[in-house]
Amino acid sequence: MITLDVIALDVSNGRSYVVHYSDNTCLFEGWMIHNQEGLNGLLARSQLCQTIPEIVFEATGVYSRVIERFCQDHHFDYYLLNPLEARKQTDSLRVNKTDKSDAHKLALTHYFIERKKKVVIDKAYQEMTTLSRWYESNEQDIKYARNHLHAFLTLSFPELESYFSSVASEYALEMIQLFPHPDSLRSYSRTKVKNLILNNTQKNISQTKALLEAESILTIAKDAYPAVDNDSLETFLVIEWASKLQQLVQQKKVIQKKLIDSAHSFKEFYVYTSFSGIGELTAALLIAELGDITRFDNPKQLNAFVGIDIRRFQSGNSPNYDKISKRGNTFARKTLYLVITNMIRSQKSGPNHIVDYYYRAKKQPHAKKHKVVLIACMDRFLKSIHYLVLHGKLYDYDLSPK
């Protein structure tokens, strides 16, 4: 009989509770700090095993990354469990919610549950994912800054916000910082305002255009009736939030360029951009969130990774209804939603069998709901790209399934 050594960890911030089992017998348990000494101790523990140990732990965000790197550096097989998956597998053994019991149960269930080894993701894909999450964080920061700028600008100079088509454009933000309150303009001549615009904004405009802009700004300032004074804290905060938003907008451009430049080195990039409606940035985000899709044996596994696999619900005598599991990658689902909606909006740019399906499914007399059709379109898109990437082909509408 082959001996099986299992090392299970309950990972938390900066430390883990470690248990070592050999053929269902616990040989060791104790705390380990996530530093050189602690990890060297874990390596020494693995060297005492009769066989190369299998290491099991739950994914706990950034806290479990150090354990992943340890396993990769020392070429250990490891099993990284989704917390929901781990809870489901250990429910039958769960008594008390403690670090110790969780580590023991992860080890004990490993002897009778078939788990899939963690496939190590190429560093290039990991870097793309990090860039994508940075991009998402930047997007959220921009929304937060825009909301605050809107709130304070409504008090100091609301007419200026409606004057620009987009308050988040760099030119608009420069103008807001120059003229955060109508009183900051009323003592100026149009020539003075024109010179301020030319000398303090990055937009390349002519003297004539700057003069017309100055006249327009002076006109709206003359009629404005702000809720606060020019020297108020609210006016100061308009300048602060406009400056922060400008920095974030500039940072967004840098991240986008990094994403697109990095994406060009992946074969998937050219497959994704061969679809009408998918631009370079969207293709880069797909690479970042889906990773190497050739690691999936079939499109169903890809659906489960994204979280659009179907779960059936039934309650008493109520009829069955289906919902997507939403257990997968939230960012990937968001990106796929963006992909499908872009395809529908830009349908005139070229034929697309996914857009064709969308309109067929929306037709009467048995028209499906919008969200249901979108999920079905995501499913078809994932099937298409899985096949194309696997076989090294670009999208061809004439060869696609109709």
Domains, the chain: 5-109 (3.30.420.40), 126-261 (1.10.287), 267-399 (no CATH)
SS3 163: helix
pLDDT value at residue 341? 94
Identify whether the C-beta of residue 1 lies closer than 8 Å to the C-beta of residue 13.
no
Q: How far apart are CA 21 and CA 50, in angstroms?
A: 11
Among the residues of 264-297, which ranges form H helices? Answer: 267-273, 280-290
pLDDT value at residue 291? 94
Q: Classify residue 383 by its DSSP letter.
A: H
pLDDT value at residue 1? 47
Q: How far apart are CA 129 and CA 262, in angstroms?
A: 11
Within 299-385, strands assigned E span 310-313, 321-324
pLDDT value at residue 253? 96
Determine whether 312 is exposed, middle or buried from the number of CB atoms within 10 Å of its CB (0-12, 13-18, 19+).
Answer: exposed
Q: How far apart are CA 167 and CA 174, in angstroms?
A: 10
CA distances to 20, 113, 123, 271, 380 from 385, rounded to whole Å, are: 42, 32, 22, 7, 9
Residue in the structure block whose two tokens are 């490891």: 78
How many CA within 13 A on the CB side of residue 159? 16
Query: Per-residue confidence of the chain (402 residues) as pLDDT tens digits?
Result: 467 899 999 999 999 999 999 988 999 999 999 999 999 999 999 999 888 899 999 998 889 999 999 999 999 989 998 887 788 877 766 544 555 678 999 999 998 888 888 877 788 999 999 999 999 999 999 999 999 999 999 999 999 988 998 888 999 999 999 999 999 898 899 999 999 999 999 888 899 999 999 999 999 999 999 999 999 999 999 999 999 999 999 999 999 999 999 999 999 999 999 999 999 999 999 999 999 999 999 999 999 889 888 765 555 555 555 677 777 789 999 999 999 999 999 988 889 999 999 999 988 777 888 888 999 999 999 999 999 999 999 999 988 876
pLDDT value at residue 232? 97
pLDDT value at residue 92? 66
pLDDT value at residue 95? 46
Identify whether the C-beta of residue 355 lies closer than 8 Å to the C-beta of residue 344.
yes
What is the value of pTM for the model shown? Answer: 0.82
Nearest to 78 by CA among 60, 98, 58: 58
The strand pairing partners of 20, in sequence order, are: 7, 28
Identify whether the C-beta of residue 304 lies closer than 8 Å to the C-beta of residue 328.
yes
Cα four-point dihedral sign 243, 334, 360, 274: positive
